[in-house]
Amino acid sequence: MKISALPGSVLSENQHPWRLESWKGSIGVVEDFLDRTIRYALFQLALRYWEGRWVLEVHALQKALNDNDNRAYPFRVGERAIKAMYRRWAMLTPLFIVTTASLPKLSKCRVKEGDKFVERYMTDFFDLLIVDEAGQIAPYQMVPGMAFSRKAVVVGDVFQIEPVIMTSHVTDTGNARKAGVQDYFWDNDGPISPRVVTAAPGNGQLMGSVMRVAQTSTSYTSSDSPVPGIFLTEHRRCHRDIIEICNRLVYNGKLQPMTVAPSRKPPLPPLAWANVNGRTDRLGNSQRNLKEASAVARWVFEKSQEWETFYQKPIHEIVAVVTPFSPQKDAIRAALRQHSREHPNRNFSKIMVGTVNAMQGAERDIVVFSPTCDRDVSTGFLDGKRSLLNVAISRAVHSFVVIGTMEIFERNPVSALGILGKALFSKGVELGDVTGNWVADDSLILRGRRISSVTEHHKLLDYAFENLKTGQEIIIVSPYLSQQAVTAVQTQTGIRKAAARGALVNVVTRDDEKTAPLRKMLEEAGARVLTIRRLHSKTLLTSAFIDEGSFNWLSVWRDSPEGANLDTSWVLTGEDAKRASREAIDELNERLKGQGNMPIGQYIFDSQKKSAMTESTYQK
């Protein structure tokens, strides 16, 4: 049979891939060609055939009903009638979609035993059982249902979060004995390891999933699969930079990103982050971070109209917020509701905010991750479950954004958080319009004057240098240094003149080998340079004012500022500045003390007591 003779064929023989000059013997090209030609045509022929068979079956059924002849064509509730009904339906719709809870109902029939009818199940009846998202289904929910089918194709991802079903070991093993489950599935001394069906002693969780159960018995495995079974390599949801993190976390580089690039550049980069200097509160066995929750909600609120304009759909269909902790989920929801109350024309209550477990299966154009942990809290829960981060990251289609204490992503470069952090800091963009990168309370800092341009920030730095007097002090906290910013005439001149007048210039930056020459250059100009590992704070502080936000004071270029982020900061003076300064300096000294550095800020406190400079003078 010629391909061109089949119904639906649109290719002439000289268009067959093996006849083209570009043919390289690719099996994938042949498979694609067959899907669009022979297989498609045969599928259409099969549809017509089974539609004809269905017409004949319905005629037979109607005749049996008219004659009340259940023997000629069974139509009642017995096993023969139920099987005949499903076979008839399958002629038009051969695929039945059900939940795990509904599957047993499909296999029920009534069978006469003695003088009465009883309910029984039709085992080995369905030709094929396809189990989707099997990694999220507990074994007890699906394994019994496999008895209704002759074969099963189990599809799922064991690198996502397994189902969490709470039960005691005693109850679980008791049920196993009563149901006649083989001893080795629940016996404490049995050979099954890891346990895939029942709870272990002392553990209130039923471990494992249908996917893991299937993997223990399948004989089909890809040659390069990291786990038993056939590994599906193509990924078509996330941007390449996003899914590559998951590739490093759990898939050993086996996933092949196949996502089609959007026709327009999205409003956010694929990877982005912002540091929030919040504090974690313990709530029972969980935790929350109110400053982080507030920063997430405020940023989503401020960007919502821009995103809706770009995506042309409501905000709840664009963005989702994911967090590992339930109290943090509640805090973020409460913060979003507050914005809705303050702006009645904007509704943020429908935005999906949930724990990672609740987000499995979902996706959004933008996903914001709130890690919740501060620098003093253990991150073992996050690092110990790579599947948790895998799920959180892979929910994002265009952009994955982390808003929180970024230091936790730098502690261990080979940990789960470290792998994510390396991708964020090397390929991601630091957001300049997220609040919370300070120690003081938001309500205090946000009362200040907001500045958002590179020129405004540099003018403020120059003003601070020019107005330093003998015995006064300036603190410049800039995690990152650049050659252009450090060697700028204004920077070098400002430091040298201030030092010559007897003022103390402190520069607090990261302990980075790459910037050692720049730190030496600052010291030669007269600055005292102090280092803090994993520093993210960005502060400019004198006895007259404090500026806190996201601007890197000694990193952003002066001559070509157009390439810099749109950083934002807030300037405080007067009593507000004194309160914020005290908290900022205390935290810096606490961190410097732990690394053997001298304390800073004493001259600022002394000058604040003596200074006659008023807020109105500063504004002039």
- CATH code: domain of residue 312: 3.40.50.300
507: pLDDT strictly greater than 60: yes
What is the reported pLDDT for 183? 66
Give me the percent of the chain exceeding a pLDDT of 70. 88
Asked if 314 and 199 sit in the same domain, the reply is no
pLDDT band at 191 (very low <50, low <70, confident <90, very high): very low
Give the pLDDT confidence score for residue 192 in this predicted structure.
43
Contact of 234 with 251, CB cutoff 8 Å:
no
**pLDDT score, position 1:** 47
Rg for the chain (alpha carbons), in Å? Answer: 33
* Lowest mean pLDDT across 223-227, 444-448, 539-543: 223-227
- Which position has the token pair 């039923």? 206
Nearest in space to 314 (alpha carbons), one of 322, 323, 305: 305
Orientation angle between helical segments 489-500 and 454-466, nearest 10 degrees: 20
Top mean pLDDT of 72-81, 390-399, 611-620 is at 390-399
Alpha-carbon distances of 253 from 135, 201, 423, 498, rounded to whole Å: 20, 36, 14, 53
Q: Is the bond leading into 266 cis (omega within 30 degrees of zero)?
A: no
Q: 397, 430, 463 — which closes off a domain?
A: 430
What dihedral angle (degrees, nearest 10) is formed by the CA atoms of 558, 563, 569, 574? 10
Give the single-character DSSP code of 255: -
Is the residue at 108 inside a domain?
Answer: no
Across the range 345-354, mean pLDDT stands at 92
Domain range for 543: 443-594
| Domain match, 359 and 492 both | no
Final residue before a domain boundary, out of 403, 430, 457: 430
Query: How many angstroms separate the CA atoms of 169 and 186, rounded?
Result: 9
pTM, 2 dp:
0.83
Q: Judge whether 601 lies within some domain.
A: no
Does residue 353 carry a pLDDT above 50?
A: yes
Residues 487, 514 within the same domain:
yes
Is residue 100 a part of any domain in this protein?
Answer: no
Beta bridge partners of 345: none
Q: What is the pLDDT of residue 357?
A: 83
Q: How many domains does the chain have?
A: 4
Q: What is the mean pLDDT of residues 336-352?
A: 92
Residue 618 pLDDT: 42
Please, what is the average pLDDT of the chain? 87
What DSSP string runs through 10-67? ---GGGSGGGSTT----HHHHHHHHHHTHHHHHHHHHHHHHHHHHHHHHHHHHHHHHH
Task: Check whether 77 has a pLDDT greater than 90.
Answer: no
In a domain, 603, yes or no: no
Helix 79-90 × helix 38-67 angle, to 10°: 140
- Confidence label for 74 from pLDDT (cuts 50, 70 and 90): confident
In a shared domain, residues 361 and 482 = no
Which of 232, 259, 286 is the last residue in one of the domains?
232
On whether residue 197 sits in a domain, the answer given is yes
Within a domain: 119: no
Residues 137 and 86 in one domain: no
**HEC-encoded secondary structure of 97-111:** CCCCCCHHHHCEEEE
Both 464 and 582 in one domain: the answer is yes
Q: Is residue 114 part of a domain?
A: no
Which tens digits make up the pLDDT trace of 272-299? 999 999 999 999 989 999 999 999 999 9
In tens, the pLDDT along 407-425 reads 999 999 999 999 999 999 9
- Asked if 178 contacts 153 with a C-beta cutoff of 8 angstroms, the reply is no
Please indicate, yes or no, whether residues 457 and 424 belong to a single structural domain of this protein: no
Q: Does 599 map to a domain?
A: no
Q: Are 160 and 134 in contact (CB under 8 A)?
A: no
Q: For tokens 């709130």, what's the residue? A: 370
| pLDDT at residue 193, rounded to an integer | 44
Both 343 and 322 in a single domain? yes
Query: 286 with 401, same domain?
Result: yes
| 344 and 270 both lie in a single domain | yes
Answer yes or no: do 210 and 254 share one domain: no
Residues 538-580 pLDDT 10s: 999 999 999 999 999 999 987 765 555 678 999 999 999 999 9
**In this structure, are residues 490 and 554 in contact, taking their beta carbons and an 8 Å threshold?**
no
Q: Report the distance separating Cα 43 and Cα 38, nearest Å.
A: 8
Same domain (yes/no): 415, 374: yes
State the Cα–Cα distance between residues 330 and 322, nearest whole angstrom. Answer: 11
